[in-house]
C-alpha cells in the first residue's frame, strides 16, 4: 500500500498585533517560501509572492484558524500538508 503524499510546512510568526487584529509571518514548504498576513477579525489571508500560492493558502488558513490563540510572535511551528510539493 502506498503512503499518502505529504509535505511539512514550517511557519514563523514575525508579528502578532492584537490591536490591529493581524498576524504577519513566513511559511516555507519544500523549495517555496511565502510571506503572509492574516487579518483574523475578518478571516482574510494574504499570501505573497503569488508563485505557488495555491499550494499553501488553504492549508495555512486551516492551521491559522485552528491554532490562532496559541500562536506567539517569535515562535516557529510545523504543520503537515496532504500533498507533495
Confidence of residue 25 (pLDDT cuts 50, 70, 90): very high
Is residue 14 in a domain? yes
Quote the domain boundaries for residue 20: 7-73
Number of domains observed in the structure of the chain: 1
What span, in angstroms and rounded, lies between the C-alpha atoms of 34 and 47? Answer: 6
Residue 1 lies in a domain: no
Is position 81 within any domain?
no
Give domain status of residue 25, yes or no.
yes
Instruction: Provide the whole-model pTM.
Output: 0.90
Distance separating alpha carbons of residues 16 and 47, to the nearest angstrom: 16
Instruction: For the chain, give the percent of residues with pLDDT over 70.
Output: 99
Rounded CA-CA distance 76/2 in Å is 31
CB-based burial label for 42 (10 Å; 0-12, 13-18, 19+):
exposed
| Range 19-48 average pLDDT | 95
Indicate whether 79 belongs to any domain. no
Query: Would 83 be classed as within a structural domain?
Result: no
Measure Cα distances from 39 to 1, 3, 11 in Å. 41, 35, 16
Helices and strands (H and E) in the chain: how many: 1, 5
Amino acid at each position: 500500500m502506498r503512503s499518502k503524499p505529504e509535505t511539512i510546512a514550517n511557519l514563523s510568526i514575525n508579528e502578532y498585533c492584537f490591536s490591529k487584529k493581524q498576524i504577519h509571518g513566513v511559511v516555507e514548504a519544500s523549495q517555496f517560501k511565502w510571506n503572509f498576513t492574516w487579518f483574523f477579525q475578518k478571516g482574510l489571508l494574504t499570501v505573497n509572492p503569488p508563485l505557488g500560492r495555491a499550494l499553501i493558502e488553504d492549508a495555512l488558513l486551516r492551521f491559522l484558524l485552528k491554532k490562532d490563540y496559541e500562536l506567539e510572535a517569535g515562535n516557529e511551528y510545523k504543520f503537515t500538508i496532504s500533498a507533495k510539493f
